[in-house]
Structure 1
Amino acid sequence: MVVGDVVTDVVAVLAGGLTRGSDTPAAIRFTGGGQAANTASWLAAQGVPVTLVGAVGDDPAGRDRLAELTAAGVDCAVDRVAGCATGTVIVLAAGDERTMITERGANVRLRPGHVEATLAGTPDARHLHLSGYTLLDADSRPAGLRALAAARQRGLTTSVDAASAAPLRAVGPASFLGWVRDVDLLLVNTDEATVLAGGLDPPAQGRALIASARRVVVKRGGAGATWVDRDASVVTSPARRVAVLDVTGAGDAFAAGLLAAWLAGATPSAALHRAADLGAAAVSQIGARPAR
């Protein structure tokens, strides 16, 4: 089960640097996005049965997002909120960087009762993965906290993707780490790890964060990834060398590969390798969802 955002991405892959105050040529695509929806899509593409819990508006964009997720094999337990627009993100992508301009829309209307009811109605769920965006917004935070608590009560393993450095900095490391305390797996990229653990090297950041999470994976983009367990074991894995078109959703694809392998019993090394495969596939295309 994956809990979190569903949005429309407006992806602009810039031909060069952004020219402020004038025109910048770009290839522009309207695609499905949202950290949770992307991860669910990449899980479904691997044949993993997955239920997505989220919220969209009762509008054409919401209907389109649900239709494409269903076609991709995702079971959608997504609330359609009347009088509210589906979230939209403008993505400016250039090389190995992307900047996101976000309107979360109906995602802030995700409620604890909807999460609780979906968990109760999915007795065969084994694992709950939560998008950190749900925790980072005060309006949706109760739903994220309830998702983690209800999953633990039902004996599910849990994971959280920290989501984004700027809102992490805004809520503060202590608050966020308190919300995710004792999750089975915490995923952070290098910027997020620096916000939460300081400017240490990835193994040291992971060791600092295992006070809050049982396992930590630090995603380092083209430098690979590092897995740290509470038994102090550290596993590193290189990234795949591929031509980068668009890094949007690469971390979501990485998370899906990691979860699919780890939950199937793979070793940390094998799980990191599978995650790297999907991350490489994501950056080799425009858009955050698996190519169909």
Structure 2
Amino acid sequence: MTAPRVIVVGDLITDVVAVLTGPPVTGSDTAATIRFTGGGQAANTAAWLGALGVPVTLVGAVGDDGPGRDRVAELERGGVDCAVAQLPDVPTGTVIVLASAAERTMITERGANLRLSPQAVEAALDAAPDAAHLHLSGYTLLDAASRPAGLRALGAARERGLTVSVDAASAAPLRRVGATAFLSWVRDVDLLLVNAAEATVLAGGLDPAAQGRALSVSARRVVVKRGAAGAVWVDRDAVIAVAPARRMAVVDPTGAGDAFAAGLLAAWLAGASPEAALRRAGDFGASAVSQVGARPPV
């Protein structure tokens, strides 16, 4: 039986990943391994879903430029259907990622991603009658320019009877828009994914299970990603599942949460229990941190 199609909405980016050999030396040189790769939270999740054999469509925007065409082509080679607008007079988004084994810092120009339109989202859903689930990158909601497209994605998915998940994306922009606003936008989504920092912004400095319970007032199911400490699933039926992380040597944490989201969605949409879905998600998150870049191995 063919898996249901997943529509993923959000950013498609060029990542310039610098895996540092040590802390940056201000005013001088720091050695690093540098790679130009495809990135963007939504595109990364779509790429991992494609690698799993899940039918997936990415809805996004790039510039009408070489990097944009390259980003679309590499996704299509990986089995992702691309409903990606190529827009003139605006560049494809770029992120400079400064990464170490412990953490990564992102310096972002979202570029064409800010021009994603509600009409493009609507058209992509109309063209995918086999879709059963929509996954939205929170970055689309966190910037005022792309927010109408994100809100339309959530509304259109509900109108069509799709289940919906949202990844909260990033703590700093969440803090800027505020927990009250963000939680109002994602109210009653089927699944909300947050990492530890995002959970603290949205629910305060509680333990992960308590954060999940607090957030389940807004979302039907909540997964708190805790990196090396594993993950916690909480839902409104009082189901709480905890999964430890797989032990892996960390090369680059970029995109680990996106790979985790893909593994979780693939398992959950196939009917897996919360415990099994978390284990599958952890396997893919571990695979992501063992390599440079945010995409599945070619």
Give TM class, smaller chain: over 0.9
Q: Displacement of 1:249 after TM fit?
A: 0.2
Q: Does 1:262 align with 2:268?
A: yes
The residue identity in structure 2 corresponding to 1:157 is T
Residue 202 of structure 1: how far off its partner (Å): 0.2
Report the equivalent of 2:206.
200
**Which of residues 250, 253, 266 in structure 1 aligns to 2:256?**
250
1:94 Cα deviation after fit: 1.0
2:273 pairs with 1:291: no
Equivalence for 2:4: none
Counterpart of 1:57, as a letter, is G
Tell me the SS of whatever aligns to 1:66: helix
The TM-score, its normalising length taken from structure 2, stands at 0.98
Q: Give runs of aligned pairs for residues 1-292 of structure 1, distance below 5 A.
A: 1-292=7-298
Letter in 1 for 2:93: G
Amino acid at match of 1:150: A
Displaced runs of 4 or more, over 6 A: none
Structure 1 residue matching 2:282: 3-state secondary structure = helix
- The letter for the 2-side match of 1:152 is R
Which AA in structure 2 matches 1:55? A
What displacement does 1:40 show? 0.1
- Whole-Å separation in 2 of the counterparts to 1:210 and 1:142: 24
* SS of residue in 2 equivalent to 1:199: coil
The alignment partner of 2:27 has SS state of: coil
**Aligned partners of 1:18, 1:205: CA distance in 2, in Å?**
34
What SS does the corresponding residue of 2:30 show, helix, strand or coil?
Answer: coil
Aligned-residue offset at 1:19: 1.0
Q: Which amino acid aligns with 1:61?
A: P
**Structure 1 SS opposite 2:188:** coil
**Residues 202-241 of structure 1, C-alpha deviation per residue, up to 9 Å, x if partnerless?**
0000000001100000000000000001012210000000
With structure 1 as the length reference, what TM-score do the two structures score?
1.00
Amino acid corresponding to residue 86 of structure 1 in structure 2: T
How far is the alpha carbon of 1:101 from its aligned partner?
A: 0.1
SS in 2 for 1:96: coil
3-state SS of the aligned residue for 2:54?
A: coil
State the distance in 1 between where 2:15 and 2:147 align: 22
Name the aligned partner's letter for residue 170 of structure 1.
Answer: R
How far 1:28 sits from its partner (Å)?
A: 0.3
Structure 2: gaps (5+ residues): 1-6
- Cα deviation code 1:257-277 (max 9, x no counterpart): 000000000000000000000
Name the count of aligned residue pairs.
Answer: 292
Tell me the distance in 1 between the aligned counterparts of 2:195 and 2:147: 21
Separation in structure 2 between the aligned mates of residue 186 and residue 193 of structure 1, nearest angstrom: 10
Q: Helix, strand or coil for the counterpart of 2:49?
A: helix
Q: Could you say what secondary structure the match of 1:126 adopts?
A: strand
1:20 Cα deviation from its structure 2 partner: 1.4
1:178-223 per-residue CA deviation (whole Å, 9 max, x = no partner) reads: 0000000000000000000000000000000001100000000000
| C-alpha displacement of 1:96 | 2.0
Structure 1 unmatched runs, 5+: none
SS of the residue 2:35 aligns to: strand
Aligned residue identity for 2:42: A
SS of the equivalent of 1:211 reads: coil
- Aligned-partner Cα distance in 2 for 1:151–1:4: 14
Aligned-partner residue type, residue 73 of structure 2: A
Question: Following the alignment from structure 2 to structure 1, what is the Cα–Cα distance between the partners of residues 130 and 261?
Answer: 21
Taking every aligned residue pair, what percent have the same amino acid on both sides?
A: 76
